[in-house]
Amino acid sequence: MRTPEHTPSIAYLICAVFVFVAHTLDGIDGKQARRTASSSALGEIFDHGCDAWVAVFLPCSTMSIFGEELNPFTMFHIQVLGCFGFVFSHWEKYVTDVLYLPWVFDLSQIIFSLTFVIASNPVINAIITHQRNPRLFLLTFGTVLANVTLRVMAAQLGRMEIQLFSPLTLLYLGTILVHIIGSQFKNLNQRLPMWDFGLLAFVCFMIIVLHLKYAIQLIKEFCTILNIRPFTVTNRAKSS
């Protein structure tokens, strides 16, 4: 029996087509860049930067498929493994100049990530009630990690020193502090579901806007340094 809350069947077909097209394009972009003599650091920023953010949406999509039967915290485990895989891979490249993407499948990194998840379980449950809004929580947390990955990539490609803290991380930590303080007030605690959703929705919006703003600024800077234009290969092809 179907209810208005059920996802339309066409949505799954559309998602399947988009995933296939995305992975196909992701696999041929490097070959196309070499064919047009347009390989550059900007291409790596686009490629791996988008991949780092795509890892945010996969747990949300999986949760939509399985519905309420899948524990939201299980999806958080999956997202941590995927997102931290990108962070660790590009941190390794920053140190060694060698990129080895399948870090997420390495046993030691899986153990490290699981240790982090297990240790943070009581803290996260007390901070954000992601059981009520799991997709919003996963999107917020994952976007912060995607931004960290992008900053590590920019530092490695630009031969710069990595910032100790990113603004998005500080914003996220500040939100946690506000939530902890706010939940201690009895009157506010009685309206905790409304308080949680409003705070999480606002922070999610701000983090996405700041992440996109940083990405656009980074693209402009690399275009200026490399003397190229984004989404344009005509000049580069003629010069070669």
Summarize pLDDT for 109-140 with one digit per residue, the tens: 444 444 444 445 444 444 444 556 777 888 88
Strands (E), 74-231: none
Helix-strand-coil split of the chain, %, nearest 5:
80, 0, 20
pLDDT digits (tens, 9 = 90+) for 138-179: 888 889 888 888 888 888 887 777 777 788 888 888 887 877
Q: Which two tokens stand for residue 100?
A: 């080895």
Nearest CA-CA partner of 207 in 175, 161, 181: 175
Whether this prediction's pTM lies above 0.75 is answered by no
Domain positions in the chain: 37-239
Q: Which of 16-20, 82-86, 204-208 has the highest mean pLDDT?
A: 204-208
Q: Which two tokens stand for residue 207?
A: 């983090």
Enumerate the H helices of the chain as residue ranges: 9-35, 41-66, 72-96, 107-127, 134-157, 167-182, 186-190, 192-226, 234-239
Instruction: Say which of 6, 23, 48, 90 is annotated catalytic.
Output: 48
CA 206, CA 209: separation in Å to the nearest integer?
5
Judge whether 23 counts as a catalytic residue: no
For the chain, what is the mean pLDDT?
A: 72
- The percent of residues above 70 in pLDDT, for the chain, comes to 69
Residues 4-29 have a mean pLDDT of: 74
Residues 200-221 have a mean pLDDT of: 91
Q: Which two tokens stand for residue 13?
A: 């077909």
- Give 99's pLDDT tier (boundaries 50, 70, 90): low
Residues 192-203 have a mean pLDDT of: 75
What pLDDT, on the 0 to 100 scale, is given for residue 146? 87
Residues 16-32 have a mean pLDDT of: 77
